[in-house]
Chains A and B, each alone.
Chain A
Amino acid sequence: MFLMLLPTLIFFLVNSYFPMVGIYYAFTQFDFNSSMFNSKFVGLQNFEFLWRSGTLVKLTMNTIGYNIAFIVLGNVLAIACAILLSELNGKWFKKISQSIMFLPYFVSFVILSVIVYNLFNYDSGFLNTMLTQFGLDPVDVYSKPWAWIFLIIIFYLWKNLGYSMVIYLAAITGISDEYYEAAKIDGANIFQRIWYITVPMLKSTFVVLLLFALGSIMKGQFDLFYQLIGNNGLLYNTTDILDTYVYRSLKVTFDVGMATAAGVYQSLFGFVLIMTVNYIIRKINDDYALF
């Protein structure tokens, strides 16, 4: 039986555990030509530089800020839609609208960038075409950093709404009809039934999803940010997250030592965060703890 598990164990050893040794690079002045332990050791210099330049603070704020917005808005919207959809009884309408809302989950982020280009491109984007048609001035969305805070959140919701809605719908279908019948007899109207029965019953699903999301709060939605923003330096202040910074440092500016340092910081910070959250949750309610 151990043999059957072996490929998986080797895979994670190579793919996840070996790179942990590479954390050492964060403390060196990286030189691609020499081997790992020959690179010049510089201690915490990389971290110090990141900290002094204010990069770390900005990246952390952005990463965590966006993730909180994603979690809160994403779940609220998904729960609301799932409840509304479950109360309707037109079978066709339900099926079709559910399919349509699930569709964006399937398309790639590259297509998302095409969509955004199509909508907001200065010369021929749909938005500006509409604006000029109504006699208004066109807007250059690509030079407005604040606008992207909303756009990124909106497109995240657009892409993920259908997926999380299905999970909540499944949970709602699992609620026994008896509760509703009893409430009806007691004279509760439909809003009261939703508020006092459906919403509390979704709590456990919500907590599970929340914990998973909290676990990856330091890992942003790299694809989303990178495909929407790319290397547009104008927008970094409001849209740069740890993942995009590390990727750029590796592929564009070749700051390998710095990129490793930022990656290590991300991993460590995330680790501490998960441990803390898990500890707190176990104190409150053991059943919900991750491990």
Chain B
Amino acid sequence: MQIQKDKYTRMLHAIAYVVILGLSVACLLPFLLIISASLTSNESIIRDGYHLIPGQFSLEGYKTVFIFPDEVLRAYTVTIVTTVVGTALGLFFMTMSGYVLARKDFKYRNTFSFYIYFTTLFGGGLVPWYIMITKYLGLLDSYAVLVLPGLMTPFLIILMKNFVKSAVPEELFDSGKMDGAGDFRIYWQIVLKLSMPGIATVGLFLALYYWNDWFTSSLFINDTHKYQLQFYLYNVINSAQFIAQMGAGTGVSLATEVPAESTKMAMAIVVNGPILFLYPFVQRYFVKGLTIGAVKG
């Protein structure tokens, strides 16, 4: 049955199309600008500035990035390894504590929930935390420091607890116990299987955090070989001498005209390529997870 649209409905639809279309373009435009800039020749950028359509098409920028692929690839490796290890470890611990805190027969669950939650209310601040990690744990310039501090957040633990609560019926705990399964076995064989959507969401949040992290490197890493990808990019963008250094470091003298501007943009694309590429596949899990979280509260 086709319902006749009244004039108000038509008006609202017109507004909606204009607004949504406008915002979508605004969200997309910056990406197009960077992609275009990375494909423009450097002289053309310096002469005419950035344009939406490359003034003078060229792949110089990408070529320069890959003259010395070692640096980029090393930063890539650091980021991939920290992301995989951090996400796996973090998920393991967070799902486990989410499960324990969701169990009604665990006596101290409220005490420990508050113990975790309280850290979001009050803390020592950045400096004592920094001193703790560098001076007392001695983690400066170690790979461990890239993984450990971000392993868990109270928010994700609470999210996980709610997922377990809504996905696993309490009777399953009892029947598992009756069949002689230990607490860990119940967690490993029942809880994990049933809370897959929750695990996917929390895992994605965590992976995104590790992939986009530049802050940890900037605080705790001095050895350039251990830079995460994002911090490496940050340095490339901020140091004008980057290319000269790269030449000096490897003993190769570069041609006088180094395409600095387009190289920066090409670098940005190379660093974020994987996320942009994976995005369409990952996005619906995020939406699903957020939806479950929002409705179930």
Q: Which residues of A line the B interface, CB within 8 A?
A: 1-2, 4-5, 7-9, 11-12, 14-23, 25, 32, 80-81, 84-85, 87-88, 93, 96-104, 106-111, 113-115, 117-119, 121, 123-126, 128-129, 132, 158, 161-163, 166-167, 170-171, 173-174, 189-191, 194, 205, 208, 215-216, 222-223, 227, 230, 243, 246-247, 249-251, 256, 259-260, 262-264, 266-268, 270-271, 274, 291
B208 at the A interface (CB under 8 A): yes
Contact residues in B for A25 (Cβ distance below 8 Å) = 127-128, 131
How far does the alpha carbon of A115 sit from the alpha carbon of B100 in the complex, in Å?
44
Please encode chain B, from 285 to 297, with 1 for each CB lying within 8 Å of some chain A CB and 0 for all others.
Answer: 0110011001101
Contact residues in A for B151 (Cβ distance below 8 Å) = 11
Please encode chain B, from 195 to 226, with 1 for each CB lying within 8 Å of some chain A CB and 0 for all others.
Answer: 00000000000001001101100110000000
How far does the alpha carbon of A87 sit from the alpha carbon of B266 in the complex, in Å?
40
Contact residues in B for A266 (Cβ distance below 8 Å) = 125
Beyond contacts A189-B6, A246-B126, A256-B127: 18 other A-B pairs, Cβ-Cβ < 8 A, are: A4-B96, A4-B184, A5-B97, A16-B119, A19-B125, A19-B129, A23-B124, A23-B125, A84-B16, A84-B19, A88-B17, A104-B27, A106-B275, A121-B50, A124-B50, A124-B261, A216-B120, A251-B218
- From known contacts A22-B127, A246-B126, A259-B127, infer whether A271 and B121 are also in contact, taking CB-CB under 8 Å: yes
Contact residues in B for A128 (Cβ distance below 8 Å) = 49
B69 at the A interface (CB under 8 A): no
Q: Is the CB of B294 within 8 A of A125?
A: no
**What distance in Å separates the Cβ of B114 from its nearest Cβ neighbour in chain A?**
8
Closest 6 CB pairs of A and B: A263-B125, A22-B128, A129-B49, A19-B124, A108-B212, A16-B119
Contact residues in A for B39 (Cβ distance below 8 Å) = none
Q: Which residues of B line the A interface, CB within 8 A?
A: 6, 8-9, 12-13, 15-17, 19-21, 23-24, 26-28, 30-31, 33-34, 37, 45-46, 48-52, 93-94, 96-97, 99-101, 103, 106, 108, 112, 114-117, 119-132, 135-137, 149, 151-152, 154, 157, 183-184, 187, 208, 211-212, 214-215, 218-219, 230-231, 233-234, 237-238, 261, 264-265, 268, 271-272, 275-276, 279-280, 282-283, 286-287, 290-291, 294-295, 297
Q: Is the CB of A230 within 8 A of B295?
A: no
Selected from B130, B272, B279, the residue in CB contact (under 8 A) with A111 is B272
**What distance in Å separates the Cβ of B204 from its nearest Cβ neighbour in chain A?**
10
Q: Is the CB of B183 within 8 A of A4?
A: yes
The secondary structure that dominates the A interface is helix
How far does the alpha carbon of A209 sit from the alpha carbon of B222 in the complex, in Å?
38
Contact residues in A for B218 (Cβ distance below 8 Å) = 251
- 21 CB-based A-B contacts, threshold 8 Å: A8-B97, A11-B151, A14-B132, A19-B125, A20-B122, A80-B19, A85-B20, A101-B27, A102-B283, A108-B211, A108-B272, A110-B214, A113-B234, A115-B30, A123-B49, A124-B261, A230-B238, A249-B127, A267-B124, A271-B121, A271-B122
Contact residues in A for B187 (Cβ distance below 8 Å) = 4
Q: Is the CB of A264 within 8 A of B19?
A: no
Q: Is the CB of A111 within 8 A of B97?
A: no
**What distance in Å separates the Cβ of A29 from its nearest Cβ neighbour in chain B?**
14
Q: Is the CB of B294 within 8 A of A205?
A: yes
How far does the alpha carbon of A47 sit from the alpha carbon of B8 in the complex, in Å?
59
How far does the alpha carbon of A115 sit from the alpha carbon of B268 in the complex, in Å?
9
Selected from A8, A125, A194, A251, the residue in CB contact (under 8 A) with B93 is A8
Contact residues in B for A106 (Cβ distance below 8 Å) = 208, 275-276, 279, 282
The interface centre, meaning the residue of A9, A84, A208 with most chain B CB atoms within 10 A of its CB, is: A84
Contact residues in A for B291 (Cβ distance below 8 Å) = 166, 170, 173
- From known contacts A1-B183, A5-B100, A12-B116, infer whether A108 and B290 are also in contact, taking CB-CB under 8 Å: no
How far does the alpha carbon of A85 sit from the alpha carbon of B23 in the complex, in Å?
12
Q: Is the CB of B237 within 8 A of A18?
A: no
Contact residues in A for B31 (Cβ distance below 8 Å) = 103
**What distance in Å separates the Cβ of B137 from its nearest Cβ neighbour in chain A?**
8
Selected from B13, B106, B265, the residue in CB contact (under 8 A) with A118 is B265
Q: Is the CB of A84 within 8 A of B125?
A: no
How far does the alpha carbon of A15 sit from the alpha carbon of B15 in the complex, in Å?
49
**What distance in Å separates the Cβ of B2 from its nearest Cβ neighbour in chain A?**
12
How far does the alpha carbon of A190 sit from the alpha carbon of B13 in the complex, in Å?
10
Q: Is the CB of A170 within 8 A of B290?
A: yes
Q: Is the CB of B99 within 8 A of A215?
A: no
Contact residues in A for B45 (Cβ distance below 8 Å) = 124
How far does the alpha carbon of A247 sit from the alpha carbon of B132 in the complex, in Å?
16
How far does the alpha carbon of A8 sit from the alpha carbon of B99 in the complex, in Å?
12
